[in-house]
Structure 1
Amino acid sequence: MIRLGLHGLGIGAGAQRTVIDAVAASAERSGFETLWFGDQVVMADEDGPHHPYRDDGEIPASAQTDWLDPLIALSFAAAATNRIELATGVLVLPERNPVVTAKQAASLDRMTGGRLTLGVGIGISPQEYDALGVPFASRGARLAEYVGAMRTLWRDDDASFAGRYVAFDGVRANPKPQGRSIPVVLGGNSDSALRRVAEWGDGWYGFDLADVEEAAFRASKLRSMCREFGRDPTELKLSVALHDPVPADAVRLADAGIDELVLVAGPPADPIAAEAWIADLAGQWMRVRT
């Protein structure tokens, strides 16, 4: 049975506290498995980034849209729920201090009883990197190194790490996350992104894929790459979001070895209407996922 996730909070109408509370609690009651929150620190009015996975190159949100920090927004969703899993989809990690981010993620994971999945990626906006004073060109290498440093902080009581972009010696970072680890899934649909997943990721979040065929093709390529690195591809969690999914896609994705279909949709601004919106989504999707 394929899992169903929801990616629609933290932005626009979904950036309101009352809507987050209503949607998170209703999604949990309705059987959704995961709430995914996206990330965008800043946006530019003009000359913005070209979206790499859309034919028109357009970013599906304007620069004027409210966009909450995902780790802060997830803490409010966590407080409104008890069981549903929580995920960043995805945090642009190379823009952030990895030591601070490791602390924030571990804190959230402990406070939620181990419900956090940290989705990370390299981002697409040179303007955003410029605003944060981080070189855009090195973002792939930074991502890998930052994750390595964070895993060290989560795992070791007396933690040391020596890298090109981050280094520390004999530090203690507490609290530790549940089980001294947090699953790290990677976003991105390119071959280089899939190679990162195969080499050191715990899973893949394929966002904005065109259709089931593209998802199946990318998943198959990822499994081949896993074998190149001597990894068992069945140990990875594969989650995908499609452009315009229909309920019949759930069964086809499960047949292709996809673990979770993430529905990307914005809730209405009224919390009562948002609860009804979740009930409608559940009515459409829960009965066809087997």
Structure 2
Amino acid sequence: MRAMQYERFGGPEVLREADVPDPVAGAGESLVVVEAAGVNFGDIKQIAGEHTEGPYAPEGPLPRIPGMEVVGRTPDGRRALGYVAQGGYAAKTVVADRDLVALPDGVSAGEALALLVQGLTAWHLLRSVARIRPGESVVVHAAAGGTGSLAVQLAREFGAGRIIATASSDEKRAFALELGADVAIDGDPEGYRERVLDANHGHPVDIILDAIGGPVLDSALDALGYLGRLVTYGASSRQPAAPLAPGRLAVDSITVAGFWLIPLIARKGAGGPALEELLDLVARRRLRPLVGAAYDLGHARDAQEDLLARRTKGKLILLP
């Protein structure tokens, strides 16, 4: 079968197209004929050799086939979305049954793939970690991104009272407003607290979802109200945050929590009520995943290079 694989660690340039044997499903697994595969930063980290331990770590010797997300059909004809630790950049792959969920009619491959990592992350940030309650105010950092754009919409779906989006440009802020944010502001750490309080009618906020880290995270703490929750799930700024003094949290009973989806999938599987709810919302057009460019499988290197260079918008997919 057709696949993209890497024989050594490195950047996207190490990916090569190859003809490899078809995978064989074992007990509790299903063979999936791949319609489309998702492209993630996690794939790039795998081929760079950055993950040798933990849930991202692939198994077996080189060469390996990267790719964690697929949409395709099982031998019994089901069209399904599935998570794999590796092997998605191929014409066929094997998916554990607990990591496979049937797709409703009307949900495209790109929409489904946008939900598996980014959508589930947004769902768990709000439901499992921040434990959003109706009427609460929510700030979403990087609101025009894959996870942020879904978090804005889900916050509205889950009953948020006021949604404040942060983004780095006028175009991105306008997009966040289209998605349902009440107000969109610059997320720069300088003057952050004043802009957030002004956007929330002068009041501190209940929930902040942060994928930026560094000085932004430090500034965000000052904008939280009593029993406020900040959930960190990334550090795209690549800058260290200031040391966190426990007394700073205790004054207003603030919670700072972290979240990473992949260990949760490793424990409980990708399938389940959260992913089913997300797919149902898309099928009913209450949730709008941002779908980007589609590349032929043989151009996976181009897709990864475009992602690294921030030339893309929305979920990138590969078509075998």
> For this structure pair, what is the TM-score category when the shorter chain's length is used for normalisation?
under 0.3
Question: Under a length normalisation based on structure 2, what TM-score does the superposition of the two structures give?
Answer: 0.23
Question: Under a length normalisation based on structure 1, what TM-score does the superposition of the two structures give?
Answer: 0.25
> Which of the pair has the greater relative contact order for Cα pairs under 8 Å at 6+ separation?
1
Bigger helix share: 1
